[in-house]
Amino acid sequence: MARIGVFICHCGENISATVDCAKVANTIAKINGVAYSTDYKYMCSDPGQTLIKDAIREKHLTGVVVAACSPRMHEPTFRKAVAEAGLNSFLCEMANLREHVSWVHEKAESTTQKAIDIVRTLVEKVKKNQPLDPIKVPVTKRAVVIGGGVAGIQAALDIANCGHEVVMIEREPSIGGHMSQLSETFPTLDCSQCILTPRMVEVAQHPNITLYTYAEVIGLEGFIGNFKVKVRKKSKSLDEDLCTGCGLCTTKCPVKKIPSEFEQGLGFRPAIYVPFPQAVPNKPVIDRINCTYYTKGKCRVCEKVCPTKAIRFDQEDEIVDIEAGALVLATGFNILKTNFFPEYGYGKYKDVIDGLQFERLASASGPTLGEIRRPSDGKVPEKIVFVACAGSRDPAKGIEYCSKICCMYTAKHAMLYKHKVHNGEAYVFYMDIRAGGKNYEEFVRRAIAEDDAKYVRGRVSTIYERDGKLIVKGADTLLNGRPVEIEADMVVLATAGIANHGAEELAQTLHVSYDAYKFFAEAHPKLKPVETNTAGIFLAGACQAPKDIPESVAAASGAAVKVAALFSNDELTRDPLVAVVNRFGPPLFSTCVGCFMCQPVCPYQAIEKEEIKDRAGNVFKVLAKVNPGLCQGCGTCVALCRSKSIDIYGYTNQQVYQEVVALLNE
Amino acid sequence: MKLGYYPGCSLKGGSREYKESVVAVCRKFDIHLVEVPDWNCCGATAAHNMNKELSLALPARILAQAESAGLDEIVVPCAACYNRLKVTQHEMAHQPELAEKVKAILGMEYKGSTSILNIIQLIEKYILPNLDDHYYRPFNYKAACYYGCLLVRPHSILQFDRAEDPQTMDEAIRKIGGTPVDWEFKVECCGAGMSVSRTDLVAKLTGKVVENALYRKAEVIIVACPMCHSNLDMRRPDVNKYLGVETTIPVLYITQAIGLAVGIDEKTLGLQRHFVPVHLPERNEIVDMPAELVTTQGKEE
Amino acid sequence: MSSVQHQVQKKGSLMEEILDSREISVQKCYQCGKCSAGCPVAEDMDYPPSVIMRMVQTEDKAMEEAALRSMTIWLCVTCETCAARCPMEIDIPGVMDYLRQRSYEKGMANPKANHIISFHKAFLDSIDYTGRLYELGLIVDYKMRSFQLQQDVDLAPGMIARGKLGFFPELIKGRKNMTDIFRKTLHKKGGLK
Ligand code: SF4
Ligand code: SF4
C-alpha cells in the first residue's frame, strides 16, 4: 500500500498570495494513499528539507510530491533530500504551483482548485513510480576548442594547464583572431600583439595542446563525455614537417595583389602566404582560388624555390575524427562592412572605413606602419569623423542590440588619432556613451577632455563625397537637433558586431541553439552563461554576443573551469529518464515487431538493432533497442511505436495514464 | 499590347510634354494606352496635408475606376500620382479598419487588385527588352538621373529599386547609349509641393540638386516626375538667383531621352515646351558605349 | 523654448491619438536626431523633426500646443527622407501629417503658414468642383486667398506660350461622387479625428 507524503510550498508569497496552500494540503490529505500532507513557507530551505526528510523516516513514506516552483529550478534539490532520507530519489516528483498556477492566475477559489488538481495528478503518478538508478558513462578527458582567437586561446591554455589534452581547431591559417589585428587596447592602450603573441606561442608549444589550423569542424556525434568530432583539415599544399617557415616562397610568388584578409583589404598578400609576421604556426598555405597553378595549371614557382622541397600540390584535405569529452565554442564574431550602409554610400567611398580597418591603419605592423593615412590617396587626414552605432541599435537595419564594444574603441580610435596627428580634428557622432567597465568611463573622459575629441550627440544621416572630402551630415541633438555638416578627410564607421560567418551552420552541426542574430545561445542568461543547452558544449567569447577582450577572456576561463570540473570525474552520471524497448525474458521476448519506424525519427540516433539469437546461436529476430547513453528521453519514439513497445522511465505510459484518470475522476 | 493609363492632372496641364513623350514612345513600341475612365485628381500633397481620409479616398476612386474598366495593370507616369496610388493601395490592404472607412466614403466597389507601374517600371518591362528593334541613335550624353522622393520612398511600400542609390533609370540611360553620372543628389528632395507657396525653399532645394549635377559634369538632368521637372525647369530663374550663376543644363523626361534614341522628333516629344532650352549637341559618334550597343548600332546602319 | 513644466495628461495626449489613429508609435523615438540631420528643410524649421518628436513624447500640454502651432509641420515637404533613415522605423511624415490636420482643425495653424494652407485649399477646392486640377483656376484662387497677387505673374505668359496653361477646366462626369467624398472628409462638420 502506497504511503505518499505531500509538501506544499508557499514560495514566500509567490504561491501563497493567490493559492490557499493550507486548503490544498488539507484536501490532498484526504486522498487515498496519502500518509502525510503539509504546507510550509520555504520548502527548499534547510528546515523545509528537514521537514521532508523527517516525514520520510517517521511516516515510512514510499513516495513524495513537492508542490512548489518549476522542477527546472529545484527538482535536483528535493531529489537529493529524499535520497538522504533513504528513499530512491526518483520516487520524488514535483508539482509546479508557481509558473503553472500562482504566477498566471488571480487569487480565486478556482486558482486553489487548479493547484489541488495538479497535486492530485502527481500523487497518482508517484504511486506508480519505480526506483531507478542513474546511468553511468565514462568520460574522455580531452577537450576540443573551436576557434583560436583570444577566447579560444585562453580556454585551451586553462584546460591544458589543468593537465588535460586539448585539440584546438582554427579555420584560418593562423590563430590569433581579431585581437591579433588590433593596434592598442582600451583602456590601458597596451599593444594588442605584444600581449597576445606570447600566448599564441604558448598554445603552439604546450605539450597538452594539439593545434589544427586551416581546419573546420564538419560533424559531431555522441554526447557529453563521449563526443566524436569530425574535422576537415583543409590542404595547405604543404608538408608542414619539412617546411622551416623561411618564407622564401611567399616573396617569390608572382601573384601578389590579393587583398589581405588580415589587413582588411588595406594591404595585399601573395597566393602562398602567411597571414601576418607573428602568425602561429608561421608556415604558409596556398590559397588555391588565387594560385596560378591551380587556376591555370602553370607556375609552381614556390615549389622550385623551396629549399626543403616542402610544397605539395597534390595534397588532399584530410578528415580526422577526434574523441573528446567536451567542446568549447570560441568562434568569435565579425563586423558589418561599410557596403551595408546605403546612406553612407554602399561602400563606394574608399575613405569611409570600418573600425577594424582603422585598427590596421593605427597598428605599427599594419599597411601604413602605424601612420594614419587614408586609403584613397595616402594623405594624412586632417579631420576624421567617427560614427558610433553604425548599424547597431537600429531595428530598421535588423540589428536591435547594442554592439557593446564600439563606444570604447571609438574613444580609443579618436585618442590614437590625436596622439599620432597632433593638429588633427576628431569628431565622434554618438547616441549614448556606454562605458561601463573598470576604468572605461575615465578613458572616454580623457579622450574628450585631454585629447579634445569632439563628441556630437546625434546620428549621421548621410555621407557623400565632394572635392576629395567627405561631407558628413549629422545633427546635434543637444542643440535642439541643429543640423551639423562636417567636411572630413576620412570617416570611420563603428559598424555593428555580428555573428561570425558560418555560425549558423556550425550551430546546426553541433546541435547548439542560437538566437535570432545567429549568436550562440547560453543555457541561462544569468546562471549558466558559458553553458549551452547541449550538455558538454561550452561557450567562450564573442560567439555568444559582442564582447570585449576582458569579458571574452573571463568567459573563456569560465568555460575552461566547466570542462575541468567535468573531467575531474572518471565517470558521469545521468538521469535514467530514457526510453526502453520492452523485453520479457529469458529468452528475450518483446512486443516489438522490428518494424523500426522509430529509428529514423529519433533525433539523437539512439535506436539500434539488436539481434536475438536462439540457443544454437542463430538469429531469429531483430528488435529495436535504445542506447541509454544517447537517448535524451524526448519520447518521440514512444509516440510513434505502433505496438506500444517503448516506454520512458519516469514517464511510463502507466504513470501518465494514472495522471489522466485522476483528473477525469473528479 | 494594351495597358491601362492614369495620366493625372499635371500631364494634362503643365507637363504636357511629358504626356506627349510617354504617348509617343508607347506608340513606337506598340503599347496602346487605355485611359482610366472618368478619372479624378489623386489629391497630391494638398490632400494628405489636410485630411487623411480624403488623401486615401481620391486615389482609391481612381483605382476603383480602373478596376471597373477591367484594367489590371496601369501605368502612372507622374511620380506623385504613382506614389499616392501605391501608398493608398498599401494602406488599404494593411489597415482593414481604415479600408472599410474609405470604402464607405467612396461609395464604390474597391478590390485593390490593380498592379501599378511607374514610368521606369514600364520602360524596364516593355521598352528596354524591345529596344533593339527601334534603336536609332545613341543618347550620347552624360546624364544625371534624378529620382527625387516620390518614386523611391517610402521604400518599404514602393519596394522600387535600391534605397538611397537607385539604379534602374541609370540602367535605362546606359542602354540608350548615355553615360549616367554617379552623383549624390539623385534622391534628394526638390521641394515639390512648395512650388507655388514657398518658392524660396524650392529655389534652395532645387538649386542644390542642379549644382551637384553640374559638379558631376552632367550635360542633362533626366527626370520622371512633373513636379521635379517644373521645379528644375520652370523655376530655373529662381534657382539661378539662389546659385548666383546662370545655369543652362536642360532637364529631360526619361521618355524624351528614349524618344530621341528611337528617332522620334523633338517636336513630338515636346522639347520646345521647356523653359530651359534643350540644346543638346549633335553627337552621333559612339563614345564610352557599352559593347552590346556598339553592335546594335552597327546593325542599324 | 520655455522651461518644461511637465503637465502630463493621463488620457488623450497627441502621442496616444497618433498611436490609436495612425498606428505610429512616437514613443519609440530615442532622439538620435538622424531625421533632423537629413531633413532638407530642417534649417528653415522652427523645430527640427526630432524635436517635434520629443515635444509630442512629453505629453505635456504646452509642448503639444507649441508643436501644433509650429511652422515645422507646414514646411515638411513629405519627402520621406527621415522615415527612410529613421533607425526606429517611425513614420515621421505620418506624424507631421497628423499634426497638420489637427492644427488646421483646431485653428491653431501658424499664421506664417497661411500661404501654404491657402494653396492646399485652393488646390482641393479645384478638385472638389471639377474632379481634376484646373491650374489656371487654382492660381487665380490661390492669389485671391493669399494676396500673393504679384508672385509668378511673369510665369503665366511663358506657360501659356508653351501650351502649359489650359483656359478651361476639365470636368469629370463623377462630380457628384467627388463632392460626396469631400463632404464626408474635409468638409465634414467638426473635422475628422
Ligand atoms: S530618426 Fe527616428 S528615432 Fe531618430 S530622432 Fe528621428 S524619429 Fe527619433
Ligand atoms: S518628410 Fe518632412 S520632416 Fe521628414 S525629412 Fe522630409 S521634410 Fe523633413
Q: Tell me the per-residue pLDDT of A5-27, one tens digit each, with 9 for 90 and over.
A: 999 999 999 999 999 999 999 99
With beta carbons less than 8 A apart as the criterion, state whether A614 and A620 touch. Answer: yes
Which structural domain, as residue segments, surrounds residue A518?
142-234+317-332+500-566
Please tell me if residue C40 touches chain B, with a CB cutoff of 8 Å: yes
Cα(C26) to centroid of ligand 2, in Å? 15
Out of B162, B163, B184, name the one closest to residue A464 (CB).
B184
Protein residue with least CA distance to atom 3, ligand 1: C29
pLDDT for position A612:
87
Same domain, C141 and C105: no
Same domain, B145 and B258: yes
Out of B61, B153, B205, name the one closest to residue C181 (CB).
B61
Q: Is B108 exposed, middle or buried (0-12, 13-18, 19+ CB in 10 A)?
A: middle
Residue A290 lies in a domain: yes
Residue B93 lies in a domain: yes
What is the 8-class DSSP label of residue A340? G
pLDDT for position C168:
67
Same domain, A350 and A440: yes
Cα(C37) to centroid of ligand 2, in Å? 10
pLDDT for position B163:
85
Banded pLDDT at A480 (limits 50, 70, 90):
very high
Cα(A167) to centroid of ligand 1, in Å? 49
pLDDT for position A360:
97
Same domain, B141 and B268: yes
Alpha carbon A310 to chain centroid, angstroms: 38
Residue A610 lies in a domain: yes
Instruction: Single out the residue of B235, B151, B241, B240 nearest to residue B187, CA to CA.
Output: B151
Q: Is B175 exposed, middle or buried (0-12, 13-18, 19+ CB in 10 A)?
A: buried
Give the residue, out of C36, C47, C80, C90, with the most ligand 2 atoms within 8 A of its beta carbon, to mutate for a pocket test.
C80
Tens digits of residue pLDDT in A429-441: 999 999 999 999 9
Protein residue with least CA distance to atom 6, ligand 2: C79
Cα(C73) to centroid of ligand 2, in Å? 9
Which value does ipTM take for this structure? 0.85
Same domain, C32 and C51: yes
Contact between chains at B215 and A466 (C-beta distance less than 8 A): yes
Residues of A in contact with B167 (CB under 8 A): none
How much of chain B, in percent, has pLDDT values that exceed 90? 74
- CATH code of the domain in which A146 resides: 3.50.50.60
Residues of A in contact with C87 (CB under 8 A): 393-397, 459
Please tell me if residue C85 touches chain A, with a CB cutoff of 8 Å: yes
Residue A177 lies in a domain: yes
Which structural domain, as residue segments, surrounds residue C95?
11-109
The 3-class SS string of B42-72 reads CCHHHHHHHCHHHHHHHHHHHHHHHHHCCCC
Choosing from B65, B87, B120, the residue where a domain stops is B120
- Average pLDDT, integer, range C134-145: 72
Query: Is any atom of ligand 1 closer than 6 Å to the C-beta of C88?
Result: yes
Protein residue with least CA distance to atom 5, ligand 2: C39
Same domain, A186 and A44: no
Out of B165, B182, B184, name the one closest to residue A342 (CB).
B165
- Average pLDDT, integer, range B122-151: 93
pLDDT for position B297:
37
Which structural domain, as residue segments, surrounds residue B221?
136-273
Cis peptide before C111 (omega within 30 of 0): no
Query: Is any atom of ligand 2 closer than 6 Å to the C-beta of C79?
Result: yes
With beta carbons less than 8 A apart as the criterion, state whether A370 and A362 touch. Answer: yes
With beta carbons less than 8 A apart as the criterion, state whether A420 and A370 touch. Answer: yes
Same domain, C104 and C146: no
Same domain, C103 and C130: no
pLDDT for position A437:
93
Same domain, A538 and A462: no
Residue B83 lies in a domain: yes
A8: helix, coil or strand?
A: strand
- Our separate counts of H helices and E strands in chain A read 17, 34
What residue type is C118 in one-letter code?
A: S
pLDDT for position A73:
85
Same domain, C119 and C90: no
| Residue A428 backbone phi and psi in degrees, to 5 | -125, 120
Query: Is any atom of ligand 2 closer than 6 Å to the C-beta of C76?
Result: yes
Structural domains counted in chain B = 2
Distance CA A18, CA A109 (A): 9
Same domain, B114 and B172: no
Banded pLDDT at A402 (limits 50, 70, 90):
very high
C174: helix, coil or strand?
A: coil
**pLDDT at residue C192 is higher than 60:** no
Contact between chains at B164 and A343 (C-beta distance less than 8 A): yes
Query: Is any atom of ligand 2 closer than 6 Å to the C-beta of C90?
Result: no
What is the 8-class DSSP label of residue A589? B
More confident residue, A91 or A666: A91
Long-range Cβ contact pairs of C63-69 (< 8 A, separation 24 or more): C63/C4, C64/C13, C64/C14, C65/C108, C66/C1, C67/C14, C67/C99, C68/C14, C68/C99, C68/C102, C68/C103, C68/C106, C68/C108, C69/C103, C69/C108, C69/C109, C69/C110
Residue with cell 622551416: A244
Residues of C in contact with A460 (CB under 8 A): 34, 37
**pLDDT at residue C2 is higher than 60:** no
With beta carbons less than 8 A apart as the criterion, state whether B230 and B14 touch. Answer: yes
Atom of ligand 1 nearest to the CA of C89: 2
Please tell me if residue A466 touches chain B, with a CB cutoff of 8 Å: yes
Residues of C in contact with B7 (CB under 8 A): none
Query: Is any atom of ligand 1 closer than 6 Å to the C-beta of C92?
Result: yes
Residue C6 lies in a domain: no
Cα(C35) to centroid of ligand 1, in Å? 6
User: Grid coordinates representing A78?
Assistant: 528535493
Distance CA B278, CA B236 (A): 13
Protein residue with least CA distance to atom 6, ligand 1: C35
According to DSSP H, which parts of A477-548 are helical? 503-510
More confident residue, A444 or B163: A444
Cα(A495) to centroid of ligand 1, in Å? 19
Out of C31, C34, C51, name the one closest to residue A461 (CB).
C34
Cα(C84) to centroid of ligand 2, in Å? 10
According to DSSP H, which parts of A421-513 are helical? 440-449, 503-510
- Average pLDDT, integer, range A322-327: 98
Same domain, C58 and C37: yes
- Number of cross-chain residue pairs from A and B with Cβ atoms under 8 Å apart: 16
Banded pLDDT at B298 (limits 50, 70, 90):
very low
Choosing from C92, C109, C126, the residue where a domain stops is C109
- Average pLDDT, integer, range A319-335: 98
Chain B: touching chains (3 or more CB pairs < 8 Å): A, C
Structural domains counted in chain C = 2
User: Grid coordinates representing A620?
Assistant: 531469429
**pLDDT at residue B290 is higher than 70:** no
pLDDT for position A381:
98
Residues of A in contact with B215 (CB under 8 A): 466
- Average pLDDT, integer, range A604-630: 87
Same domain, B79 and B170: no
Same domain, B92 and B152: no
- Number of cross-chain residue pairs from A and C with Cβ atoms under 8 Å apart: 77
- Number of cross-chain residue pairs from B and C with Cβ atoms under 8 Å apart: 166
Out of A342, A345, A465, name the one closest to residue B162 (CB).
A342
- Average pLDDT, integer, range B235-264: 95
Residue C1 lies in a domain: no
- CATH code of the domain in which A640 resides: 3.30.70.3270
| Residue B62 backbone phi and psi in degrees, to 5 | -60, -45
Residue B108 lies in a domain: yes
Contact between chains at A457 and C33 (C-beta distance less than 8 A): yes
Instruction: Single out the residue of C78, C72, C143 nearest to residue C103, CA to CA.
Output: C72
Q: How far A623 CA sits from the closest chain B CA (Å)? A: 57
With beta carbons less than 8 A apart as the criterion, state whether A607 and A624 touch. Answer: yes
Residue B279 lies in a domain: no
With beta carbons less than 8 A apart as the criterion, state whether A485 and A472 touch. Answer: yes
**pLDDT at residue A233 is higher than 60:** yes
Same domain, C30 and C60: yes
Residue A572 lies in a domain: no
**pLDDT at residue B287 is higher than 70:** no
CA of C42, nearest ligand number: 2
Alpha carbon A469 to chain centroid, angstroms: 43
Distance CA C135, CA C138 (A): 5
Element (H, E) at A420: helix A406-420
**pLDDT at residue B46 is higher than 70:** yes
- Average pLDDT, integer, range A217-226: 92
- CATH code of the domain in which C41 resides: 1.10.1060.10
**pLDDT at residue C104 is higher than 50:** yes
Tens digits of residue pLDDT in B199-231: 889 999 999 999 999 999 999 999 999 999 999
How much of chain B, in percent, has pLDDT values that exceed 70? 93
Residues of B in contact with C164 (CB under 8 A): 13-16, 273
Best interface-test mutation with C: which of A459, A463, A479, A495 has the largest number of C CBs within 10 A? A459
- CATH code of the domain in which B178 resides: 3.40.50.11810
With beta carbons less than 8 A apart as the criterion, state whether A109 and A16 touch. Answer: no
Cα(C86) to centroid of ligand 1, in Å? 5
Distance CA A156, CA A563 (A): 10
Same domain, A229 and A188: yes
Determine the Cα angle at B113 with ends B112 and B114, to 5°: 100
Same domain, C90 and C121: no
- CATH code of the domain in which A79 resides: 3.40.50
Contact between chains at C85 and A462 (C-beta distance less than 8 A): yes
Same domain, C28 and C69: yes
Instruction: Single out the residue of C54, C99, C107, C90 nearest to residue C72, CA to CA.
Output: C99
Q: How far B157 CA sits from the closest chain A CA (Å)? A: 14
Distance CA C39, CA C86 (A): 11
With beta carbons less than 8 A apart as the criterion, state whether C63 and C3 touch. Answer: no
Residue C134 lies in a domain: yes
Same domain, C97 and C130: no
Report the DSSP pairing between strands A383-390 and A425-430. parallel
Atom of ligand 2 nearest to the CA of C38: 5
pLDDT for position B240:
95
Structural domains counted in chain A = 5
Residue with cell 528488435: A623
Same domain, C48 and C104: yes
pLDDT for position C149:
60
Cβ density class A140-160: b for 16+ within 10 Å, e for less: bbbbbbbbbbbbbbbbbbbbb
What residue type is A486 in one-letter code?
A: I
Alpha carbon A551 to chain centroid, angstroms: 14
Residues 6+ apart with CB under 8 A from A94: A65, A66, A67, A68, A70, A71, A74, A75, A78, A122
Give the residue, out of C36, C56, C90, with the most ligand 1 atoms within 8 A of its beta carbon, to mutate for a pocket test.
C90
**pLDDT at residue B284 is higher than 70:** no
Choosing from C109, C142, C162, the residue where a domain stops is C109
The predicted model scores a pTM of 0.84
CA of C74, nearest ligand number: 2
pLDDT for position B249:
96
pLDDT for position B300:
34
Banded pLDDT at B283 (limits 50, 70, 90):
confident
pLDDT for position B292:
41
Same domain, B103 and B156: no
Cα(C52) to centroid of ligand 1, in Å? 10
Residue B293 lies in a domain: no
Same domain, C16 and C102: yes
- Angle, helices A355-362 vs A406-420, to 10°: value is 30
Instruction: Single out the residue of A338, A334, A353, A347 nearest to residue A403, CA to CA.
Output: A334
Tens digits of residue pLDDT in A129-176: 999 999 888 999 999 999 999 999 999 999 999 999 999 999 999 999
Residues of B in contact with A345 (CB under 8 A): 165
Choosing from A463, A479, A497, the residue where a domain stops is A497
